[in-house]
Amino acid sequence: MTAAYDIAIVIVNYNVRDLLRRCLQTLFASQGVTFQTCVVDNNSPDDSVAMVQTEFPQVQLIANTANVGYPAANNQGLRALGVSGRDERGTTTDEEKASPRYALLLNPDTELPPDGLATIVAYMDAQPDIGVIGPKLVLPDGQLDLACRRAFPTPIVSFYRMVGLSRLFPRSPRFGRYNMTFLDEDAIAEVDSVVGAFMMTRVTAVQQAGLMDDQFWMYGEDLDWAKRIKDTGWRVVYYPEVTVLHVKRASSRQNPRAQVEFYRAMLIFYYKHYHRQTGWLLHLLVILGIALKGGPAVWPDVRAGAAILRH
């Protein structure tokens, strides 16, 4: 398999036409790299599809007739751009075709600096053991988007978060692990995960670990992907030499399902990666915390327990 270009870029869009336009404008002002872009629209009612067709004819467009969720839509875009990988059941999902060297998941509510992609690609080229990388994400008010560098939500890390210890002691390496708030936000660091708003992966790592797990609908899928990639031996790096603007939750705040899916994703991630090695008392605390935080809408999944996993 030969590399046809540097980066396959997938943007999953839902009902944020104007932000998507600005994202694509900054993307196509990028210098120093070759890339192809696929926008996967999850049945937006705001003419996003027509805007892309009219203003960005160079973009490959997939217009879904339903909102299939974030990871499933990303997988559609990755396959369309030649990023092959097995699915979560171990089956190869794509035909052999020309593949890029890197794959980038990019949210439509981001804005890139012109040299951002080239800078990150150069760093990954120089560090061949990096499987996943993410930049410094800043919110419109200039504050750091705390989700851009994270630890995996192990039961104990999640417990510290749920009871508020991470907010009380953000500089503590023990209690502040959820968003790694004890780290210097301007220092390069190896982390557990970056956020799917800007998540660059090495295609070789994706081929080993597989595509995203579409049993997640929204939230948690980027953590799961990073964990699976890291578990195959690759490093995950937070790289603040590049700064990207992130409006954050522009799409999810429009969907009432999003809040429920946040806690459902916690359940899936916990049962998939940690349930078997967690003691009964901590298990009860984790499940009780998710049930209380998620509310009645998530209780059926709490009662279902490990059965929420499809495999």
Q: What pLDDT is attached to residue 94?
A: 47
Residue of 44, 46, 35 whose CA lies nearest to 62: 44
Burial zone of 300 (CB within 10 Å; 0-12 exposed, 13-18 middle, 19+ buried):
exposed
Instruction: Show the domain range for 249.
Output: 7-150+191-254
Q: What pLDDT is attached to residue 54?
A: 97
What is the DSSP secondary-structure string of 122-168?
Answer: HHHHH-TTEEEEEEEEE-TTS-B-GGGSB----HHHHHHHHTTHHHH
Q: What pLDDT is attached to residue 307?
A: 78
Burial zone of 100 (CB within 10 Å; 0-12 exposed, 13-18 middle, 19+ buried):
buried
The answer to whether 218 and 263 have CB atoms below 8 angstroms apart is no
User: Residue 66: which CATH number?
Assistant: 3.90.550.10
Regarding whether 280 and 216 lie in a shared domain, the answer is no
Tokens at 141, concatenated:
């008010």
What pTM did the predictor assign? 0.88
- Other CB atoms closer than 10 Å to residue 118's CB: what's the count? 17
Q: How many domains does the chain have?
A: 2
SS3 200: strand
The answer to whether 117 and 35 have CB atoms below 8 angstroms apart is yes
Regarding whether 240 and 301 lie in a shared domain, the answer is no
Regarding whether 218 and 139 lie in a shared domain, the answer is yes
State pLDDT tens for residues 63-112.
999 999 999 999 999 999 999 765 544 444 444 455 799 999 999 999 99
Regarding whether 39 and 115 lie in a shared domain, the answer is yes
130 domain-assigned: yes
Regarding whether 202 and 66 lie in a shared domain, the answer is yes
- Name the helix (H) or strand (E) containing 260: helix 257-273
How far separated are the first and last CA of the chain, in Å rounded?
A: 30
**Separation of alpha carbons 271 and 274, rounded Å:** 6
Tokens at 305, concatenated:
């327990």
176 domain-assigned: no
Regarding whether 242 and 262 lie in a shared domain, the answer is no
**Residues near 124 by Cβ (< 8 Å), separated by ≥ 6?**
102, 130, 133, 200, 202
Regarding whether 104 and 245 lie in a shared domain, the answer is yes
Tokens at 233, concatenated:
């031996």
Q: What pLDDT is attached to residue 20?
A: 97
SS3 292: helix
The answer to whether 178 and 301 have CB atoms below 8 angstroms apart is no
DSSP state of 235: E
Tokens at 168, concatenated:
């009380």
DSSP state of 196: T
Regarding whether 229 and 110 lie in a shared domain, the answer is yes
The answer to whether 33 and 121 have CB atoms below 8 angstroms apart is yes
Instruction: Report the relative pairing of strands 235-246 and 130-138 from DSSP bridges.
Output: parallel
Q: What pLDDT is attached to residue 14?
A: 94
Burial zone of 148 (CB within 10 Å; 0-12 exposed, 13-18 middle, 19+ buried):
buried
280 domain-assigned: yes
State pLDDT tens for residues 202-241.
999 999 999 998 888 888 899 999 999 999 999 999 999 9
Q: What pLDDT is attached to residue 158?
A: 84
Ranges under pLDDT 70 in the chain? 1-3, 85-98, 249-256, 310-311
